[in-house]
Structure 1
Amino acid sequence: MSTIYTNNAKLGKPAVADRNWNLPLNANADAIDALAPVGGLCVTTAEIPSASLNVQAAAGRFQKRDGTVGAFAGSALTTLPQNQTCSLYLTDAGTLTISTTGYPTTAHVRLATVVTSATTILGLTDDRVVCGVVGTDALPYMPLAGGTLVDGANVAFGTTAGTKIGTATTQKLGFWNATPVVRPGTYVQGYATNTRTLGAYTSTPASTAYTGVASGQTGTPYAQAADLNSLRAAYENLRVFSENTTQLLNALVNDLRAMGLLG
C-alpha cells in the first residue's frame, strides 16, 4: 500500500503493510523541524544529553517593535556561564543576548530559559511565543498603514534628538481632516523684531468730543492744544499697539517656522 499524507503539513502516514517506515518518519521529522513555529529561533543544547555548557539558537524571523520583520541568521555554539539561570533573547536589532538577571523591559524576543551547572545544561525551557493577540485594540504600535490611537493615548518624544513629522518640505500633511498639502512657501519678514507679549491697549473712542475754541468767526472752530495732544496720544497708543501686534505675529511666524509648519 502507498503512503498517504496529512492535509495541512503533508506529513507521511505509512500504510500497515509498508516497509522502510524509517523513511517517511525521518522525512516527517525534517518537515516538522523546518516549520517556523517549531524550528525557528529554537534553542537547543549542543549535545543530547547535554555534555557541555554550549547551546545553539536556530535561524528564524521575528516581528520587530516597529511592525517590520527581522531575520536572525542563527548562532554558532554559545557557551553559557556556570551555575546560572540564563535568559536568552534577541534584541530588537536581532542580536542574541544572554542575561543572568531575567528578561529586559525594553523590546526583545524571548527564546529560552536555561539552567546550568558547573559543566552541563541542567534544564532548558522554550520561552518563544508562537501565537499572539491580534486586533486593532491589541497593537502596541501604530501600523505603517495607519490606524487609530485609543482614546486618551499619549505619544511621548525624546528630549535629546527629538522627532520629526515629515522629513522633507514636499511631504504633505493635513490636520483635522484637511486635505494634506506641502509646507507653505517662505514668509519674508522685512520688520523682524518679535515678542511673545501682547501689551494692553486702551483706545480713545471715536465719540470723544473735542471742544475746540472759536476763532472769532461764527461757525469756524480751531483745535485747542489739549485737543491735539489728546489726538496725538490716541494715535501713539494705536501705533504702539499695532507695532506690538506685528512683533507678536513675527514671533508666531518664527515659532511655526522653527517647527517646520511654515516656510
Structure 2
Amino acid sequence: MATTYTTRAKLAKPGPAEREWNVPLNANADALDALAPIGGLCVTTAESPSTSTRVQAAPGRFQRGDGTVVVFAGATSIVLVAESTSYIHLTDDGEIAVSTSGFPTSSHVPLAIAVTDSSSVASITDLRIVCATVGSNSRPFLTPSGGTMNDGASLAAGSASGFKIGTSATQKLGFWGAPPVARPGMYSQEYTAASRNLMAYAPAVRTAAFAGIGSGQGGSPYAQASDLNSLRVSYENLRIFSENTTQLLNALINDLKAMGLLG
C-alpha cells in the first residue's frame, strides 16, 4: 500500500509494506515543527536533554496591544537563574524578558514557565495562546493613536454602569472636525423649572390700530377696555410660551450637564 496523507496538515501515512518509515516520519516531525501553533514562539531547552539553565525561544508572530502584528526573530540562548521558577514572556514591543517574580501587569505575551535546578532545566510549561483574530475589520478596539471605525459600526454601552468618555473636565473633546476643547464652565440657573415638552404657541395677532375713545381733549385718545383685554391676551400667550421655552432650555441644559457636556 502506498503512502497516504492526512486531510488537514498533509502528514504522511506510510503503507504497511513500505520501507524506510523514518523518511516520512521525519518529514512529519519537520512539518509539525514548522506549524505556527506548534513551533511558533515555542520555548524549549537549549540542549536535549538539558545540561544547562539555558532555554531558547523559537521565532514567531504575535498580536501586540494596539492590534498590530509583530514578528519575533527568536532567541537561541536565554540564561535562567538556577534553582528558581522563571516566567518567560515577550514585551509588547517584541523583546524577550524573564522574571522570577511572575508575569508583569503591563501588556505582554506569556510564553512559558521554566523551573531550574542547580545545573539544568527541570521542566517547561507552555503558556502560549495561538490563533488570535487579526485585521483592521476584526479588532474590537482602535489603536491608541486613533483610527477609523468601519462604516455602519456601533458602540454598545452597558446598561448597568455604562461607559465614560473622558475622565476629567480638563480633558478635551471635539466633534465633526472642531478643535478639541475642555468641558465648558458651569451654567447658573436661577429659574430652575424644566420641561421636555414645547407647547403649541397661540398668538393673538393684532394688525389693526386700536381705536380708543376721545378724552375730551383733541388728539389724546384713551384705550377702551376691549383694547386692554386684547393686549392682555397677547401678553399672556407670549408669557406662557416664553416660560415654556425657558423650561425647555433648562431641561436641555440639565440633560447636557448630566452627560458631562456642560459644566
Could you tell me how far 1:140 is from its partner in structure 2? 6.4
Distance 1:122 1:109 in 2: 23
1:154 to 155, 164, 167: 164
Contact conserved, 1:65 with 1:141, CA < 8 A, in 2? no
Q: Are residues 163 and 9 of structure 1, via their aligned partners in 2, closer, same or farther at CA, if it must alter by over 3 Å?
A: farther
Could you tell me how far 1:81 is from its partner in structure 2? 0.7
1:129 paired to 2:129: yes
Distance 2:172 2:70 in 1: 23
Could you tell me how far 1:164 is from its partner in structure 2? 9.1
Q: What is the SS of the residue equivalent to 1:77?
A: strand
Could you tell me how far 1:52 is from its partner in structure 2? 0.2
Q: Are residues 57 and 163 of structure 1, via their aligned partners in 2, closer, same or farther at CA, if it must alter by over 3 Å?
A: farther
Q: What are the superposed Cα offsets for residues 79-128 of structure 1, whole Å, 9 maximum, x if unpaired?
A: 10111100000011001000111111111111000001121111110011
Q: What are the superposed Cα offsets for residues 207-228 of structure 1, whole Å, 9 maximum, x if unpaired?
A: xxxxxxxxxxx989xxxxxxxx
Distance 1:2 1:157 in 2: 68
1:30 paired to 2:35: no
Gaps in structure 2 of 5+ consecutive residues? 191-217, 221-263
> Counterpart of 1:228?
none
Could you tell me how far 1:19 is from its partner in structure 2? 0.7
Contact conserved, 1:142 with 1:149, CA < 8 A, in 2? no
- Alpha-carbon RMSD across the aligned residues, in angstroms, is 3.7
Q: Which amino acid aligns with 1:17?
A: A
- Runs of 4 or more consecutive aligned structure 1 residues displaced over 4 Å after TM superposition: 131-134, 155-158, 162-165, 195-201
Q: Which amino acid aligns with 2:126?
A: D
Q: What are the superposed Cα offsets for residues 106-163 of structure 1, whole Å, 9 maximum, x if unpaired?
A: 11111000001121111110011125699xxx966347563544412335679xxx89
> Counterpart of 2:63?
63
> Counterpart of 1:249?
none
1:103 paired to 2:103: yes
Distance 1:129 1:198 in 2: 52
Distance 1:76 1:133 in 2: 28
Distance 1:118 1:104 in 2: 26
> Counterpart of 1:244?
none
> Counterpart of 1:190?
none
Q: What are the superposed Cα offsets for residues 176-215 of structure 1, whole Å, 9 maximum, x if unpaired?
A: xxxxxx558xxxxxxxxxx9688999xxxxxxxxxxxxxx
Contact conserved, 2:63 with 2:132, CA < 8 A, in 1? no
Contact conserved, 2:60 with 2:71, CA < 8 A, in 1? yes
1:41 paired to 2:41: yes
Q: TM-score, normalised by structure 2?
A: 0.57
Q: Are residues 80 and 17 of structure 1, via their aligned partners in 2, closer, same or farther at CA, if it must alter by over 3 Å?
A: same
Q: What are the superposed Cα offsets for residues 14-45 of structure 1, whole Å, 9 maximum, x if unpaired?
A: 10111111110000000000000000000000
Residues paired across the two proteins, number:
177
Q: What is the SS of the residue equivalent to 2:76?
A: coil
Q: TM-score, normalised by structure 1?
A: 0.57
Distance 1:83 1:43 in 2: 18
1:20 paired to 2:20: yes
Q: Which amino acid aligns with 2:128?
A: R
Q: What is the SS of the residue equivalent to 1:7?
A: coil
Contact conserved, 2:51 with 2:121, CA < 8 A, in 1? yes
Contact conserved, 1:89 with 1:112, CA < 8 A, in 2? yes
